[in-house]
């Protein structure tokens, strides 16, 4: 049985760091496209980058082959380079400090489990249409939180 192929583009945004933030994700499979966005009142850009990837992967209804594009080196390096050492070290960094955003890294790790994910880095704000749209969704999520509308989370 072949797995469905899904292309995901994600981005996070924050006004102040910490401050109000938002995340956006676009999922594309064949002719189907789904956009997601959300936000938090007091957060960081890194948390929003993580939430974009988590929300997109959690939205998948069955195991898929995924190409996930992000402009966040923190997200890409964290999941491809650092997470195995963090897990071995009891969620501590090489300098024995607790891993920042450990609860989100654990959630992302769990969201990855049923899928085959290839992580792709793309330069942000460089004219990539899907990255620009993910950024727009993240900003919309942030603005909705700023305006006090909790309807920021969900599909568009």
The catalytically annotated residue of 35, 40, 135, 140 is 135
The catalytically annotated residue of 35, 40, 71, 140 is 71
H or E stretch at 130: helix 129-146
The catalytically annotated residue of 11, 35, 40, 140 is 11
H or E stretch at 28: strand 19-29
The catalytically annotated residue of 12, 21, 22, 38 is 12
Distance CA 75, CA 77 (A): 6
The catalytically annotated residue of 35, 40, 49, 140 is 49
Known catalytic membership, residue 49: yes
Known catalytic membership, residue 12: yes
The catalytically annotated residue of 5, 90, 125, 154 is 125
Maximum Cα–Cα distance for the chain, whole Å?
47
The distance from CA 129 to its chain's CA centroid, rounded to whole angstroms, is: 17
Q: Tokens at residue 77, please?
A: 């390096």
Name the percent of the chain in helix, strand, coil, to the closest 5.
Answer: 40, 35, 25
Active site amino acids: 11-12, 49, 71, 125, 135
């Amino acid at each position: 049985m072949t797995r469905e192929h899904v292309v995901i583009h994600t981005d996070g945004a924050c006004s102040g760091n910490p401050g109000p933030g938002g995340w956006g994700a676009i999922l594309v499979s064949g002719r189907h496209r789904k956009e997601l966005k959300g936000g938090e009142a007091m957060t960081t850009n890194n948390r929003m980058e993580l939430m974009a990837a988590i929300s997109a992967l959690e939205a998948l209804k069955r195991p898929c082959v995924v190409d996930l594009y992000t402009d966040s080196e923190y997200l890409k390096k964290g999941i491809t380079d650092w997470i195995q050492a963090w897990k071995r070290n009891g969620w501590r960094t090489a300098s024995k400090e607790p891993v920042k955003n450990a609860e989100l890294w654990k959630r992302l790790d769990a969201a990855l489990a049923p899928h085959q994910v290839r992580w792709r880095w793309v330069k942000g704000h460089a004219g990539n249409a899907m990255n620009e749209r993910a950024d727009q969704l993240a900003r919309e999520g942030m603005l909705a939180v700023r305006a006090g509308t909790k309807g920021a989370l969900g599909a568009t």
